[in-house]
Amino acid sequence: MTRYRLIFALFVYAATPWQGAAAAGHSEISTDQVAGAISRAGMSVLAEQVTLLSDVVAHTASPNLIVESIEPWGEGRMKARLGCANSEECLPFYVSIRCNQAGGERPGGALLDQSYAPVSRPAPNPRSYVVRSGSRATLLLDRNHVHIRLSVICLENGAAGQRIRVESKDPKQTYVAEVVEGGVVRGSL
């Protein structure tokens, strides 16, 4: 009978999840760290708005997190992909961000849905526009060794150096991109 108790105790011990406990030599990444990284990227977010979609750990206690992308993810939510600036510190991971639409605050970021307004900015002189709303352009997406060119439609007028919204044809995705020159805009992955 003692043997069965021992086996049962070992089974229960092995099956008990160690939630919140990071593996030896690893530190958990908190919602505060994620909110800080997203805020530094230009989207004002509180830790209470961030939900980690999995347990996330890093080799160091305070890794330098970078936002790789932000995109719409259902009604009133955004999905962000983050990673460490030093890719050896942590693996890329996703978080969910609850948007404060009731309070009037709207998110901004690398990728936006049409329902979210762009950040307000002073309007340039209409004569300085190099791309017009409805015109075709080439979106250049670059990161490390990845270079992507997409044919897009401009959703706003834009002067060189200005950030505007553009939309790809298939599948329809909306991006925020910087106007480089007539017919060329640049975004980030």
The residue-averaged pLDDT of 13-25 equals 51
At 98-131, the pLDDT tens digits run 886 444 344 444 333 333 334 445 555 666 788 9
Q: Which of the four pLDDT bands, split at 50, 70 and 90, describes residue 59? A: confident
User: pTM (2 decimals)?
Assistant: 0.45
At 118-165, the pLDDT tens digits run 444 555 566 678 899 889 999 998 877 788 888 999 988 888 889 898
Sign of CA dihedral 127, 129, 130, 132: negative
3-state class of 7 per DSSP?
helix
| Domains of the chain, start order | 2-98 (no CATH), 126-188 (2.30.30.760)
Highest mean pLDDT among 14-18, 40-44, 109-113: 40-44
- Within 10 angstroms of residue 55's Cβ, the number of other Cβ atoms is 16
What does the DSSP 8-state code read for residue 144? T
